[in-house]
Amino acid sequence: MKKYFILLTIIGFASLETLHATDVFSKMSAEKICVAYETTKGMFFVTNVNVIGINCSVTIEKSEKMVRIIIPVSEFNSGLAKRDSEVAFLLGGPSLVPMRYEFSLPKDNQNSVRPTIKGNLFIKENPNSVILNLSKKANVTQFQFNTKFSTLGVKVNSVGPGGIIANPTDNLIIYGQVPNNLISKSE
C-alpha cells in the first residue's frame, strides 16, 4: 500500500510541475512579441501532462523586402529551469542558435498584414517551410499551427529506461502573438 501511495504522490507532483492551459494566448504578454510551444508528455506510463513554454524575448528585424523574427531559444519559460535548458539545447544546439522565422513582404503592398504568411522557420539553421494563418484581434495579431518535432528535424528523447519517467509525444503546437501597435510602428 505504501508503494502505491508513494507512486501516486510522485505522479501528482509531476502533474503540478507544468501549467495546463486551454488558452496559451492568455498567458502571453499583450505588450510584447511572444512565441510559445505546447506539447504533451507521458509521465510514469500513467498520465499525460501538457507542457507549455513561453518566450516574450522575441525581436523583429524588417527590411524593404523581408521580415525576420528572432526567437532566442534560451528564453522559453515552462516553469521548470531544467526542462527549459533542455529545450534550448534541442532547438538551438550546443551554441544555442536562435530560431528565426523569415518571410518576404509582398511587392504590391508592403505595409499590410496578410491573413496568411508563407515563410521559413529556421531551427539550428535548418529551414522548414511554414505557413502561418494570422488572426487579428482587438490588440494583437495571433497565429497557431500544429506540427511535429520530427517534421522540424528535432529529436526529442524519453527520460528514464523505456520512457518510464517521461515520454514526450511528437506533436507540437506553436503559438505567436504580436501587439498590433508594434505592427503599425514597424510599417
pLDDT tens per residue, range 92-142: 888 888 889 988 877 665 555 678 888 898 988 889 898 888 888 888 888
In this prediction, residue 163 has a pLDDT band, given cuts at 50, 70 and 90, of very low
Q: Is the pLDDT of residue 3 over 70?
A: no
Dihedral in degrees, nearest 10, Cα atoms 125, 126, 128, 134: -10
Buried-state track 109-139, b at ≥16 Cβ within 10 A, e below 16: eeeeeeeebebebbbbeeebebebeeeeeee
Q: Is the pLDDT of residue 57 over 90?
A: yes
> Cell numbers of 113, please?
498584414
The Cα angle at residue 72 between residues 67 and 78, in degrees rounded to 5 = 125
CA distance linking residue 146 with residue 148, whole number of Å: 7
Which uninterrupted H or E stretch holds 92?
helix 81-92
**Does residue 18 sit in helix, strand or coil?**
coil
pTM across the whole model = 0.73
Query: pLDDT: is 17 or 77 the higher one?
Result: 77
Query: pLDDT: is 146 or 40 the higher one?
Result: 146
What class is the 2-186 domain? mainly beta
Q: Is the pLDDT of residue 185 over 50?
A: no
As a whole number, mean pLDDT of residues 151-158 equals 71
CA distance linking residue 116 with residue 108, whole number of Å: 16
Buried-state track 149-162, b at ≥16 Cβ within 10 A, e below 16: beebebebeeeeee
Facing residues of 8 across strands? none
Q: How many residues does the chain have?
A: 187
Q: Which amino acid is residue 14, in one-letter code?
A: A
CA distance linking residue 87 with residue 72, whole number of Å: 11
